[in-house]
Amino acid sequence: MEISDESAVRDDKESPFERDVRAVFQDTLGLIHIALVTHYGMVDSEANELEKDLYLWFLRFCMRPGSKSPKESRPFLLVASCQFAREYQKYVIGSGLREADPVTATILDREPAEVAKDFSRSLELLTFRHNPDA
């Protein structure tokens, strides 16, 4: 899975910091996609578009004063993903473009930070599987 089509052409201009952010984002993208599609009920194309915005946001977020390394900032990326997805679905359902199924309705009722926490656990598990000695 890859992010943004347009951002691929910018690779040569990327600073080491941007490369680091991109790598972390890329590592987390699978989980984010699951969150958006499976849990928040977005279709693939919507999720792909949202992921581009999430990458831009995450890159700038990591530049804010007091932000830790991109890797350490991953939990915030998950919170943002859940918040983004929730607001999007609320917007779509609120505008009458889509009806909420019971599963989506349940997750929309939950706080995004809470949902992200569950995903963070999956992330920890994933990291552990990739690197059990870490």
CB distance 5 to 53 below 8 Å? no
Instruction: Report how far residue 70's alpha carbon sits from residue 107's, in angstroms, rounded to the nearest whole number.
Output: 27
CB distance 48 to 16 below 8 Å? no
Judged by CB, which is closer to other proteins: 60, or 121? Answer: 60
Judged by CB, which is closer to other proteins: 114, or 132? Answer: 114
Judged by CB, which is closer to other proteins: 39, or 89? Answer: 89
Which residue from 1, 5, 8, 15 is in contact with other proteins, where contact means CB under 8 A? Answer: 15
Collapsing DSSP to helix, strand or coil, 6 comes out as helix
Give me Rg for the CA atoms of the chain: 15
DSSP string, 20-50: HHHHHHHHHHHHHHHIIIIIT---HHHHHHH
- Report the site for other proteins in 79-98 (rule: CB under 8 A): 79-80, 83-84, 87-88, 90-91, 94-95
- Residue where the block lists tokens 């309705």: 105
Q: Does residue 10 interact with other proteins by CB under 8 A?
A: yes
Which residue from 2, 11, 44, 53 is in contact with other proteins, where contact means CB under 8 A? Answer: 53
**Sites of contact with other proteins (CB under 8 A):** 4, 6-7, 10, 13, 15, 49, 52-53, 56-57, 60-61, 63-68, 73, 76, 79-80, 83-84, 87-88, 90-91, 94-95
